[in-house]
Amino acid sequence: MDVVLSELRAEGGAVEHMEADFEDPEAPSLVVAAAAAAFGHIDILIVNHARSGHGDLSEVTAVDIDAFLHVNVRSAILLIREFAAQHDGRPGGRVVLMTSGQHIGPMSREIGYAVSKGALHQATRTLADALIDTGITVNTVNPGPTETGWIGDMSPTPAMPLGRWGEPDDAARLIAWLCTDDACWITGQVIDSEGGFRR
C-alpha cells in the first residue's frame, strides 16, 4: 500500500488516507467529508470495503448478521447518500459497488457475507434509478476469486481455466473503464468479470 501511494505521489497525484469503522453509522459521512475537504468536488465513489468471514447456517448469530449488514450494506448506502449530496449535477458522476458472485452460485459456508453482498447486487438498479437524474451512474462489479492474500496455496486449476486466480488489477481495469466517458450510458448493471471461473 505504501509503495502504491508513493508511486502515485511521484507521478504528481494527490493522495490522502484515513481509517474508519463502518460499523459506526457516522463513519460514511466522515469519510466523504474528509475526501471533499481534501479534493473538493468528488466525481467518483468506489465502494470496495467488505466485512468477510465464514459461518454456515448452523453457526451464524444475530450479532454476526447485524455486523455483516452494517458494514457491507448500511455503510455502502450511507456512503452513496453522502456522495450524492455533495454532487453538483455535473456529468460524469460514478458509483461502483463490489459484490461477490452469490447470484451465480451458492456460498453456504459464508451466509452473512453472501446475504449482505446479495443486498448490494439487488440494490444496484434501484440506486441507479434514484441517482440518474443527478448525472450519477451506479454499477456493480463481481470480480470473482481474486488473490488478495486469502487464497493461500490453493491451486487455481481446474476452477480457473486461464490458469491463475484473478488479480486486483483485473477488477481495477474494469472499474476504471466504468468511470470513463466511454461508459456514460451504462447504469444499473451488475457485471461479472470472473475469468471463466468454474464453480
The answer to whether 49 touches 22, Cβ cutoff 8 Å, is yes
Q: Alpha helix (H) ranges present in the chain?
A: 2-10, 27-39, 62-68, 75-86, 111-131, 168-178
Q: Could you identify the residue written with the cell 463502518?
A: 22
Q: Are 167 and 147 in contact (CB under 8 A)?
A: yes
Q: Catalytic residue, from 22, 68, 113, 165: name it.
A: 113
Q: Using CB atoms within 10 Å of the CB of residue 37, give its burial: 0 to 12 exposed, 13 to 18 middle, 19+ buried.
A: exposed
Indicate if 61 belongs to the active site.
Answer: no
State the catalytic residues: 113
